[in-house]
């Protein structure tokens, strides 16, 4: 059995964190191409620093003339992302930042392995391993530390953008240490919150006075106690933030994007990659399956691993781990999930309807633990397979 009494910590970063600015731009580029052509190929990487954004990688449309037209839109796409996040500071402003577009056509050698042909199905866009995880400790079937670390920052972004807290700025990080008792979170032992602000004379105490009511609103009753230690802007002033304060890069927050360290990670980032890349689509499928296993009551916790080879359609392996909480053997779960879903790249895309411009919204506050959207966003968070899995298992 897994441990029942312990302290576990996870962190989140806001949409204004330099790496998240880059994730947002990369996913906005992806959405623009998929909106034009649902099976567009995109592998977009973004780098940001003081007064500069560099965008590179590979893109592919069936119509080369349209590809040229879309290349001209990249500058405007990036500026709109920066504007919506809220950057209007002297050395990183959506109107004045210098943007360099180095995107180019997808490699023909990669395309030949991925594309379907007369004698083969569409292959995986790369080799690799992907993990999905779910636990019944929260309603979203997510680990509590990462779920609530995200929730804190989403709330602060909401009141910042509404004008309710005009001195808050986009760059922020949160971290929660939760004490578990009998396997369930019961208390915040340590709370870390660092947020960029505009006032040169604002102290850590001033910032705590601003953010504490919102943090208390977000966290469950009773989690914050007299023993909880608060660390709000522990270094003091945090006025210079975003890519002006620290360079950013797509794909550097993979643990923030997933389960906050509570589950294994295959190592592949998500943002900027179209769903033929199993780094992204198979990780979504693995989360979908793990969540449905837990929703079906087959386990209190479940991790699903999938593995792929570039150019090969079927997964090379399926592995389930229920951490001693399973109601049936893991091998039964492995057979049930394989039967419930076509896990080829095309099968995943069709089942979860991933060929849609739904990715920009995933770039901050986690790819998992979010409510499914009516337009197909976060489709991997549905639990519509639970009944079938329970029956098959």
Give the model's pLDDT for residue 124: 81
- Residue 146 scores a pLDDT above 50: yes
pTM: 0.95
Taking a C-beta distance cutoff of 8 angstroms, is the pair 156, 14 a contact?
yes
- Residue 2 scores a pLDDT above 80: no
Fold of 128-136+251-392: GMP Synthetase; Chain A, domain 3 (3.30.300)
Domain ranges of the chain: 6-13+145-242, 18-114, 128-136+251-392
Q: Is 217 annotated as a binding residue?
A: no
The region of weakest confidence among 121-125, 163-167, 246-250 is 121-125
- CATH number for region 18-114: 3.30.300.10
Q: Is 131 annotated as a binding residue?
A: no
Taking a C-beta distance cutoff of 8 angstroms, is the pair 126, 308 a contact?
yes
Q: What are phi and psi of 359, to 5 degrees?
A: -100, -25
Interval 227-258: pLDDT, tens: 999 999 999 999 999 999 999 999 999 999 99
Structure tokens belonging to residue 57: 């990688």
Distances (CA, A) of 23 to 88, 94, 209, 376: 19, 16, 31, 20
Q: Is 17 annotated as a binding residue?
A: yes
- Residue 120 scores a pLDDT above 70: no
Spatial CA neighbour of 21 closest among 43, 52, 42 = 52
Q: Is 75 annotated as a binding residue?
A: no
> Is the Cα torsion angle 341, 344, 347, 348 positive or negative in sign?
positive
Distances (CA, A) of 97 to 19, 186, 244, 317, 372: 16, 45, 11, 46, 34
Bridging pattern class, strands 229-232 and 184-197: parallel
Give the model's pLDDT for residue 294: 98
Interval 30-42: pLDDT, tens: 999 999 999 999 9
Q: Is 41 annotated as a binding residue?
A: no
Q: Is 339 annotated as a binding residue?
A: no
- State how far the Cα of 99 lies from the Cα of 357, in Å rounded to an integer: 23
Give the model's pLDDT for residue 118: 46
> Is the Cα torsion angle 180, 144, 252, 348 positive or negative in sign?
positive
- State how far the Cα of 328 lies from the Cα of 324, in Å rounded to an integer: 10
Interval 130-142: pLDDT, tens: 999 999 999 999 9
Q: pLDDT-based confidence at 122, cuts 50/70/90?
A: confident
What would the mean pLDDT of 318-338 be, rounded to a whole number? 97
Interval 48-98: pLDDT, tens: 999 999 999 999 888 777 777 778 899 999 999 999 999 999 999 999 999
What would the mean pLDDT of 265-293 be, rounded to a whole number? 97
Q: Is 19 annotated as a binding residue?
A: yes
Q: Is 237 annotated as a binding residue?
A: yes
**Catalytic residue positions, numbered:** 17, 19-20, 45, 58, 173, 238, 246-247, 252-253, 273, 277, 279
Output the average pLDDT for the chain.
Answer: 94
Q: Are domains 18-114 and 128-136+251-392 of this chain identical in fold?
A: yes
Instruction: Write the class of the CATH domain 6-13+145-242.
Output: alpha beta
Taking a C-beta distance cutoff of 8 angstroms, is the pair 256, 15 a contact?
no
- Residue 37, SS3 per DSSP: coil
Interval 67-76: pLDDT, tens: 777 788 999 9
Tell how many helices (H) and how many strands (E) occur in the chain: 11, 13
Give the model's pLDDT for residue 115: 54
């Amino acid at each position: 059995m897994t441990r029942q009494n312990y302290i576990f910590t996870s962190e989140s970063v806001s949409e204004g964190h330099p790496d998240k600015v880059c994730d947002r731009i990369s996913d906005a580029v992806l959405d623009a191409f998929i909106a034009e052509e649902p099976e567009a190929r995109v592998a977009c990487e973004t780098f940001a620093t003081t007064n500069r954004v560099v965008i590179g990688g590979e893109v592919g449309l069936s119509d080369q003339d349209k590809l040229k037209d879309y290349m001209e839109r990249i500058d405007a796409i990036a500026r709109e992302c920066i504007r919506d996040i809220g950057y209007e500071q002297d050395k990183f402003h959506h109107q004045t930042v210098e943007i360099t577009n180095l995107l180019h056509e997808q490699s023909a050698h990669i395309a030949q392995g991925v594309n379907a042909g007369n004698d083969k199905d569409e292959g995986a866009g790369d080799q690799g391993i992907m993990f999905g995880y779910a636990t019944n400790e929260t309603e979203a079937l997510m680990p509590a530390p990462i779920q609530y670390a995200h929730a804190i920052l989403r709330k602060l972004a909401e009141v910042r953008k509404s004008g309710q807290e005009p001195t808050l700025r986009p760059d922020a990080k949160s971290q929660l240490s939760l004490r578990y008792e009998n396997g369930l979170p019961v208390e915040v032992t340590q709370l870390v919150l660092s947020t960029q602000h505009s006032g040169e004379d604002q102290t850590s105490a001033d910032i705590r006075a601003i953010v504490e009511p919102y943090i208390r609103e977000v966290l469950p009753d009773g989690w914050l106690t007299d023993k909880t230690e608060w660390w709000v802007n522990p270094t003091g002033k945090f006025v210079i933030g975003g890519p002006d304060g620290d360079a950013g890069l797509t794909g550097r927050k993979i643990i923030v994007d997933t389960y906050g360290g509570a589950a294994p990670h295959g190592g592949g980032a998500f943002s900027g990659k179209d769903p033929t890349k199993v780094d992204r689509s198979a990780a979504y499928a693995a989360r979908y399956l793990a969540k449905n296993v837990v929703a079906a009551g087959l386990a209190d916790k479940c991790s699903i691993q999938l593995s792929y080879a570039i150019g090969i359609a079927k997964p090379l392996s399926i592995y389930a781990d229920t951490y001693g909480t399973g109601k049936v053997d893991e091998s039964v779960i492995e057979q049930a999930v394989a039967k419930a879903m076509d896990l080829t790249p095309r099968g995943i895309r069709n089942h979860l309807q991933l060929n849609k411009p739904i990715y920009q919204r995933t770039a901050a506050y986690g790819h998992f633990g979010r409510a499914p959207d009516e337009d197909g966003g976060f489709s991997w968070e549905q639990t519509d397979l639970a009944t079938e899995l329970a029956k098959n298992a």
